[in-house]
Amino acid sequence: MPIKSKMFRVATEGATTDGRNIERSWLVQAAKNYNRNTFGARVNMEHLRSLYPDSAFRSYGDIVSVEAKEEDGKMRLYAEIAPLPELVALSKAGQKIYTSIEINPKFADTGEAYLVGLAVTDNPASLGTEMLSFAAKNPQASPFASRKSHPDALFSEAVQIDLAFDEEAEDGGKFSAKLREILGKFSAKAKGDDARMGEVVAVLEEVAETVAAQDAAFTAQVKRTDTLTNDLAELKKAFGDLKAVVDKIDKTPAPNYTQRPPATGSNASGAAQTDC
């Protein structure tokens, strides 16, 4: 099943960046403007982006949605991500527990702020106040210059997070959710209607429970099928590797092997003759 994180805080107004402190308006605009169809921001490591899919600095997921909330008198930015399995594994192992956002205060031709990236790190000092202040005061020597998607983009101070993930329901789950929505409408009507409507609602409740149970059973069966498919692929690969070794052994002469001269009895011109 696809996995999404629960909303978690990624930035607070007034926090340090490698240029200026984060402005309230940036966070409000970033939440308002974020659209994956416009520009889908990705999760990376240490704000480094590799072109190679097997690199340690490849992408580790996508930012799905962003929202701004005012808490304790300060505006805060929250994000929801769709992590790849590698990021989930790292998080469960207690790795990469700090995040830093990349925000462009004037994105493209909008003139407003946009969230363009989210980095994870194990070393908060690498994106801490001192390092960001140094980068701001020494832009020519900034270690972040080559990592930015745009020269105007800014990196925020790394903050510790506690990622929690939810599995998304597949199509069957969506159907169940829709059924529960319809059921809710019937329930509201039943309160002001006669007993017959109550009976209809009771039947729909049974249907909803049955569909939910079948949905769970189908999802479990899909997981088992996927597991068996993966196991079969591994067995096929192992068999192919073994066959290649056996074929190589069959075609390789034994040590000190000497091939016997060809027989000449069937060839009259080249046959050995006896001198009698």
**Whole-prediction pTM value?**
0.56
The verdict on whether 100 is a catalytic residue reads yes
Angle between helices 195-251 and 171-190 (to 10 degrees): 170
Reading the chain (276 residues) residue by residue, the pLDDT tens digits are 568 888 899 989 988 777 778 899 999 999 999 999 999 999 998 888 888 888 888 899 999 999 999 999 999 999 999 999 898 888 888 888 888 899 999 998 889 999 999 998 887 666 665 666 766 777 766 767 778 888 888 888 888 887 777 765 555 455 556 666 666 665 555 555 555 666 666 767 777 777 777 777 777 777 777 777 777 777 787 787 788 777 777 777 777 767 777 666 656 565 556 665
Q: How far apart are the first and last CA of the chain?
A: 89
Name the helix (H) or strand (E) containing 216.
Answer: helix 195-251
Give the Cα-Cα-Cα angle 206, 208, 214 (nearest 5 degrees).
105
Sign of CA dihedral 83, 86, 88, 90: negative
5, 18, 91, 176: the active-site residue: 18
The verdict on whether 247 is a catalytic residue reads no
The verdict on whether 142 is a catalytic residue reads no
274/193 Cα distance (integer angstroms): 119
47, 91, 156, 176: the active-site residue: 47
Q: How many residues does the chain have?
A: 276
Sign of CA dihedral 211, 213, 216, 219: negative
5, 91, 100, 176: the active-site residue: 100
